[in-house]
Structure 1
């Protein structure tokens, strides 16, 4: 390994005690705000996760399945008590939202999942969108659903390209073309997200409307992960750094007009009286909170990817060498790169 190491016990204890905190994939000293290391998922973790999914695990279904905040599940609920188990026995996988991970990914460092898992995530989002369409009025009238399907077809093609880059003789031009196409697809999905978000501001909405935003955001995140992987493959770390910074800002822009309370109130607008209004708002609030928090967690995760690229540049570690170490790891599901 270049500089990647198994997560040390002192870091686990530091997070548990509050000495350190995890922001995105960066482990920071709470007192100084200084980054002490970068958490990084490996191919081993994805292999185990895929095995669990295919062996009859019980993934969480419905809205939570399309989670952007899989990293936050680890960071906020699991990291303090389970990080040691992640690096040793993976017992914690039994308690994670496996459906969430399969669709949205961990977001810890650079994604190293293979084509089959990335395509499964894309198909999962697409299938979920199909169930949402019937619940939302006027979906077909503006041809939004047809356009989203075409975008997903483009994304699927580029996922295949990214997964085979290392075997291509023209990997630089192929990677650049794939990253650009994925960026265009993400931009088109952002336009759909913004259009839907804007149209929701002054009308009564339903849980399906929130679910649609969540699904679009998960697809945008997938485009970003694949594009970043392409840039790492051809050692365009400076470009990866700059693009991650911009994309984090774009996710922030998507979330800025959304607040859990406002969304919950819009979900309760059609209630016939104050009692039903209060109950509808209470029921919608958790879903609204998950949506907004998921978007904000994505900002943190993508920002930390920019920091990771900068750290590799400083340490003179190439993107391909970094990916090679991750893909070849057979024992540790989670590693750390010291800052």
Structure 2
């Protein structure tokens, strides 16, 4: 079946009547939960989001500044305007996609956009050098730079892999590379989220948790994209399921209340301590929302892979279509049956 760029009228009518609703990247029947359509952002959508972000797009990524950025009236207005222009899809979490970097469907943002995100993550880790050295005693700064250099090179190859004649071999190689990078980042993240016997914790540790998590989510998205291009749709569900469980474990381990108490303990004054605890709780809420968003995105990609298999649409064809489309913001996949 062909890929669609406009939602069929019968689906539009069902959403308008309340029979169906948009949940993440899927349109579901309210009564049964049955998936009626998958919504996939195209290259045009990512370009529009980058433009709407304005100054924020230039800085790329500001971990604990995300909360303040979303309150910036100019950015807020731009994102709301973009959302209103999406018609039926205006309920998509545009601000969350723009500010956390977690998208919906398969990530097809171009290398320039992804590299901006990676550069900002790496730069921020450099600013958190002391915290990084605390959790990565066996992981030297030079190794961290090498890790991000390897991730960047793999992302650059991923950007063009669908159009290459050797796409099968290259995409399989890239999938293995991203899997290895994910293992390293996950180990660092687990250590960052484990305070051990510490009686206090600097707020920068929360920043580090968010930053490492963002790098982890980026690599998860990239690995699944490589699997789509390699036509290994059967394994997309397996890997997505594995990373869903991993993000669930991180969410369980996060323990916002305990971490917020440790951050508050850095203040000797009671009023300052209460204020610091509130600030920490807000930041940790953002991290928790990030994990929840990653879980939703991964589960949607599980479902999407099955829809493509059922419709007889190849993963490479799908990635090429969404990557090349710049005029339409979304591509629609209708499940067969």
TM-score over 0.5 (shorter chain):
yes
Partner of 1:271: 267
Partner of 1:319: 315
* CA shift digits 1:50-87 (9 cap, x unpaired): 445678978796325679xx9xxxxxxx9999755125
Of 105, 128, 134 in structure 2, the residue corresponding to residue 132 of structure 1 is: 128
- 1:133–1:303: structure 2 CA closer, same or farther, 3 Å change rule? same
Q: How far apart are the structure 1 equivalents of 2:35 and 2:234?
A: 19
Residues 1:292 and 2:288 are matched in the alignment: yes
Q: How far apart are the structure 2 equivalents of 1:204 and 1:9?
A: 57
Partner of 1:108: 104
Of 127, 143, 149 in structure 1, the residue corresponding to residue 145 of structure 2 is: 149
Q: How far apart are the structure 2 equivalents of 1:100 and 1:35?
A: 27
Q: How far apart are the structure 2 equivalents of 1:3 and 1:137?
A: 48
Asked if structure 1 preserves the Cα contact closer than 8 Å seen for 2:135 and 2:192, the reply is no
CA RMSD of aligned residues (A): 3.6
Residues 1:163 and 2:162 are matched in the alignment: no
Asked if structure 1 preserves the Cα contact closer than 8 Å seen for 2:42 and 2:329, the reply is yes
Asked if structure 1 preserves the Cα contact closer than 8 Å seen for 2:64 and 2:207, the reply is no
Partner of 2:63: 63
Q: CA deviation at 1:214?
A: 0.8
Q: CA deviation at 1:266?
A: 2.0
Q: How far apart are the structure 1 equivalents of 2:177 and 2:290?
A: 25
Unaligned runs of 5+ in 2: 71-77
Partner of 2:27: 27
Q: CA deviation at 1:143?
A: 3.6
Q: Which moved more, 1:205-214 or 1:258-267?
A: 258-267
Asked if structure 1 preserves the Cα contact closer than 8 Å seen for 2:41 and 2:329, the reply is yes
Q: Which moved more, 1:12-21 or 1:181-190?
A: 12-21
Q: How far apart are the structure 2 equivalents of 1:56 and 1:188?
A: 28
Q: Which moved more, 1:196-205 or 1:122-131?
A: 196-205
Instruction: Give the TM-score normalised by the residue count of structure 2.
Output: 0.82
Partner of 1:196: 192
Residues 1:303 and 2:299 are matched in the alignment: yes
Asked if structure 2 preserves the Cα contact closer than 8 Å seen for 1:61 and 1:99, the reply is no
Asked if structure 2 preserves the Cα contact closer than 8 Å seen for 1:58 and 1:98, the reply is no
* CA shift digits 1:186-233 (9 cap, x unpaired): 110000000111236753222211111111111111111112222211
Instruction: Give the TM-score normalised by the residue count of structure 1.
Output: 0.81
Asked if structure 1 preserves the Cα contact closer than 8 Å seen for 2:162 and 2:319, the reply is no
Q: How far apart are the structure 2 equivalents of 1:191 and 1:179?
A: 19
- 1:85–1:160: structure 2 CA closer, same or farther, 3 Å change rule? same
Q: How far apart are the structure 1 equivalents of 2:11 and 2:82?
A: 12
Q: CA deviation at 1:268?
A: 0.8
Residues 1:253 and 2:249 are matched in the alignment: yes
